[in-house]
Amino acid sequence: MTRRLRVGMVGYSFMGAAHSQAWRTAPRFFDLRLAPELTALAGRDASRAQDAAGKLGWGSVETDWRRLIERDDIDLIDICSPGNTHAEIAIAALEAGKHVLCEKPLANTVEEAEKMTAVAAEAAAHGVYSMCGFTYRRTPALALAKRMVEEGRLGTIRHVRAQYLQDWLSDADAPLTWRLDKAKSGSGSLGDIGAHSIDAAQWITGAGITGVSALMETFVKERPVGGDFVGLGGHGGMDGPRGPVTVDDAAIFTARFNGNGDGGPIGIFEATRFALGRKNAMRLELNGTLGSLAFDFEDMNVLSFYDAASGPDAGFRRIIVTEPSHPYVGNWWPTGHGLGYEHGFTHQVVDLVAAIAHGQQPAPSFSDALQVQKVLAAVEASAAADSRWQNV
């Protein structure tokens, strides 16, 4: 490591903690040409931000993200705040000559994402780079799936099945937080977790979604005011004030991908935070002419592979993705010692820092994330039009 990469981060909750660990850990397990430094953390509440900075390892605190961008001792802005803040922060940072890592989804609207992408393209022409944080790309098993598809192990892909199942909102008295406010989050389960499935499916197949037919539902229309929701006041419990849920609780849609001159694969997607018993079941299955792959993040160190050439009696075989030859794994533990959720964020830092050091555009780019944003918008438009087919 010969040069520093001084990072300023906006936000310090769930994603902020995950990103902080990644910035600290990456240079200790991977050889990086730039040395990340946790220079400054920005949060509106000075006391809470100071506590978070001490806990997470940041050198200083700002109470306005604009101060991060003004500082000469910061090279990169890491955006871990709600979706309604992404466009303003990312555009200001890029125009100030600072690299950007922005959490997903890229923005709350296609229009915002288009502006961000245009500014990112202009910045990249001057050596200032940006990336969107779709971390599941960095799960070794999914990265191995991508490699196997590229090697032709599945042949021509015909079907894509993607589910993201959680249950943390199934209690109707869970508090109203910013994630349930469309003005802040953009959408509910669709953008929060469905966006990951959309990105992973397009990335692994190498095909883009061209059209969708969708259905969305909000099961619980009002919730107790509390949590980190801002705007209704108070901290009502079960018997206190309740506020409206303005996002979807669940979304399902069928999709068509572009492809190989034969119409491309067809897909089915499901995202919900009401699947009791499912904690973080980000699932993906691909069926091709030569074989199939299946993945479930709740068993994240395993990739299931069916090779049609092995005959019908062979069935799926479990690939334990802990070998040094598997993506990212060689820098960690001995064979058989699995990785966890946090490692995807470390791998994200590794790939981002390597790209910046080599003067290359990191992936997924804002342009890649814009494509996901267009799919999200098409799903919402279709659901609002009684599931009418919507081109992306």
Find the CATH number of the domain harbouring 42: 3.40.50.720
158 with 121, same domain: the answer is: no
As a whole number of angstroms, the distance between CA 6 and CA 35 comes to 8
Evaluate whether residue 382 is within a structural domain. no
pLDDT number for residue 312: 80
User: In terms of domains, do 275 and 152 share one?
Assistant: yes
Mean pLDDT of 39-62: 98
Question: pLDDT band for position 341 (50/70/90)?
Answer: very high
Residues 61 and 96 in one domain: yes
Mean pLDDT, rounded, for 235-262: 83
pLDDT at 390 over 70: yes
Same domain for 228 and 123? no
Do 166 and 184 sit in the same domain of this protein?
A: yes
The residues that bridge with 229 in the sheet, in sequence order, are none
Separation between Cα atoms, residue 359 and residue 329, nearest integer Å: 25
Cβ contact 147:327 at 8 Å: yes
Is the pLDDT confidence value at 1 over 60?
Answer: no
Stretch 216-233: mean pLDDT, rounded?
73
What's the pLDDT at 260? 63
Instruction: Name the percent of the chain lying above pLDDT 70.
Output: 95
pLDDT at 347: 98
Distant-in-sequence, close-in-space partners of 176: CB < 8 Å, separation ≥ 6: 222, 223, 224, 225, 226, 227, 229, 232, 242, 243, 245
User: Do 167 and 113 lie in a common domain?
Assistant: no
Q: Are residues 200 and 321 in the same domain?
A: yes
pLDDT digit string, tens, across residues 74-129: 999 999 999 999 999 999 999 999 999 999 999 999 999 999 999 999 999 999 99
What confidence tier does 240 reach under pLDDT thresholds 50, 70, 90?
confident
pLDDT digits (tens, 9 = 90+) for 175-187: 999 999 999 999 9
CATH code of the domain covering residue 292:
3.30.360.10
Q: How confident is the model at residue 165 (pLDDT cuts 50, 70, 90)?
A: very high
Same domain, 325 and 213: yes
pLDDT in tens, 134-144: 999 999 999 99
Is 307 a residue whose pLDDT tops 50?
Answer: yes
Any domain includes 270: yes
Mean pLDDT to the nearest integer, 385-389? 98
State how far the Cα of 279 lies from the Cα of 321, in Å rounded to an integer.
Answer: 21
Q: Tell me which of 318, 339, 360 is where a domain ends.
A: 339
Residues 110 and 149 in one domain: no
One domain, residues 179 and 319: yes
- Note the pTM of the prediction, 2 decimals: 0.95
Integer Cα distance of 191 and 251 in angstroms? 10
Residue-range definition of the domain harbouring residue 93: 3-133
Q: Domain ends where: 88, 110, 133?
A: 133
Which tops the pLDDT comparison, 333 or 262? Answer: 333
Q: How many distinct structural domains can be found in the chain?
A: 2
- Give the whole-angstrom CA distance, residue 341 versus residue 323: 18
Asked if 339 and 329 touch (Cβ cutoff 8 Å), the reply is: yes
261 pLDDT tier (thresholds 50, 70, 90): low
Comparing CA positions, the residue from 266, 244, 270 lying closest to residue 255 is 266
Q: Is residue 15 part of a domain?
A: yes
Q: Which range (262-266, 280-284, 342-346, 357-361) has the least confidence?
A: 262-266
Q: What is the pLDDT of residue 224?
A: 95
Per residue, the 3-state secondary structure of the chain, as one string, reads: CCEEEEEEEECCCHHHHHHHHHHHHHHHHCCCCEEEEEEEEECCCHHHHHHHHHHHCCCEEECCHHHHHHCCCCCEEEECCCHHHHHHHHHHHHHCCCEEEEECCCCCCHHHHHHHHHHHHHHHCCCCCEEEECHHHHCHHHHHHHHHHHCCCCCCEEEEEEEEECCCCCCCCCCECHHHCHHHHCCCHHHHHHHHHHHHHHHHHCCCEEEEEEEEECCCCEEEECCCCCCCCCCCCCCCCEEECCCCCEEEEEEEECCCCCCCCEEEEEEECCCCCCCCEEEEEEEECCEEEEEEHHHCCEEEEEEHHHCCCCCCEEEECCCCCCCCHHHCCCCCCCCCHHHHHHHHHHHHHHHHHCCCCCCCCHHHHHHHHHHHHHHHHHHHCCCCCEEC
Residue 233: what pLDDT? Answer: 33
Nearest to 14 by CA among 174, 142, 108, 133: 133
Q: Does a structural domain hold residue 153?
A: yes
